[in-house]
Structure 1
Amino acid sequence: MAVQVELTRKDILKVIQEFKKNYNFDFENYAELSFKRRIEYLLVSHNLSGIEELLAKTATDEAYFRKCINDITVNTTELFRDPDVWLSLRHNVFNGFRNKSRINIWHAGCSSGEEVYSTLILLNEMNLLDRANVLGTDINTDILRKAKEGVFNKIINHSYFNNSEKVLRANPITNGNNPDITYNKYYEQDEKTKLYRVKKFLRDKATFKYHNLVDGSVFSRFDIIFCRNVIIYFNAELQNKVVSMFHESLFSQGILLVGVHENIAYLPVGSKFDSKIMKGLYIKK
């Protein structure tokens, strides 16, 4: 039976080494304390006695290893998280997209898709949805399947009501009139489960794919890249590597949006961005 254990640095380095050796999956540049907490939680939630049992099981069972990776990499999110950020995006960023024939948007580390669908809703309210290509990527295959399904629990997502009220209703977007932004416009409810599913016209506008930021490379060009509350789990070396890849992936004057508590200005690549509009938003020079 698993008990709560305090892992040593030696334990964590061994886990990282074995994961890389067996599956070429590299956590070496993840923030060590955060990775340690996630491994400790994994041992308890999987009822494992310690790292030796974890490493023995993952070494011989790739499916189990993938499940562990999915559990380690779960990040929390919500619809219209940090509404002030979305208000600034609406007024200062998305309005500037009106003169573009195509708008390429990448949500890196998209988790279960709430921010992807928030973007799609906002674009639709601004009559920009038809010209948008919106991509969501994540390392977690289980969470990607959930994102594609677009199914959310109304209770879990109760903050959506307050967030959307502030972003979509406070200063009307459409013709100066208060739009009727309700769940019914974008979601369908299953009466049995009481779960809400994003309507098909919105789901069809989103593409979700597996992508590992640690070893990822430039694969397209984007007008804006969202990577909120992800790089906080990386050390400075990996942060610089990932942000450099984002820089190469952006069009000139493209925008990188990180979390409000994340700062890339101190990184070597930080000098290649301007930050003038709001906290967490960086413009490629």
Structure 2
Amino acid sequence: MSGEIDAIRDTMKYIRHSQPRMEKFKLAASQVNAPDKKPAYDVQTRWNSTYIMLDLALQLKAAILSSAYPFVVQMGKDMFLKWNKYWEIGNGVLAIACALDPRCKLAVVEYYFKMMHLEKVQSFMTNLKSCFEDLFNEYLISNNKASQSQPGKSTDASSSGSKEETDTRAGLKNFLNDKKQADPILSELDQYLSELLDSCNLDDDFDILSWWKLKSPKYPVLSRLARDILAVPISTVASESTFSTAGRTLSPTRSSLNDESIEALVCAQNWLRTAVIESGGELGEEDDDAIDEEGE
């Protein structure tokens, strides 16, 4: 029954965690003559609280179905719109980050994109390669400028004691220069993408930043690009969550707290919540309020 219990628990949390949803629930409860009780969710480590939650859910079943389902449908639509917005903006960066994994490269990007948009895979891969090349060229130009700005080492022919090159030596140099110009030049990016995938298994504990650090002599420009791209946070949720927590801490009655006190309270709340979760428990409403009081 764990799946059903989880669904009921999530529904209870969904209604309780928003005042507009609670108002909608109260209106639905009055229309279907449901008991005048608030939805409540359990603490998973306490079987008696789970029983109370299930018993209450049965009593409020009609009101819950009348109020929660339309909201869930609308929430799904809103989430889908937001997902499309972020996907259109960030899919290129995410794909490049995946391509910078030597175990995946562009092959894995193409595989997963086929699963989502089979009809657009060719145009997407073409645009991705072009974007990847443009980004690499920017780093290449930046690297060349940095190299040119460094003072070069001058050599004095008289001090080095070198002899004048013979005609044969000069001819060899000219021949080699012509040969270099005739041969196709592969950039670091072309070399990297043309090599075989790394033999490391996808399920292994792979330190990708260490891999690029070791390969930096071979790919000096591409390794800098990888370092910057792979350091980009995948989501802003962590930072937004921190500001949200700080907002609760800095309430109207405690608006004069200094920076050090706010930081100490936010850290204390985070540590206490983490300790509860790591111990196998789950924060219920009573636990959450208790932690807030202890953090204060």
Give the TM-score normalised by structure 1: 0.26
Greater share of residues in helix: 2
Give the TM-score normalised by structure 2: 0.25
Larger radius of gyration between Structure 1 and Structure 2: 2
Greater share of residues in strand: 1
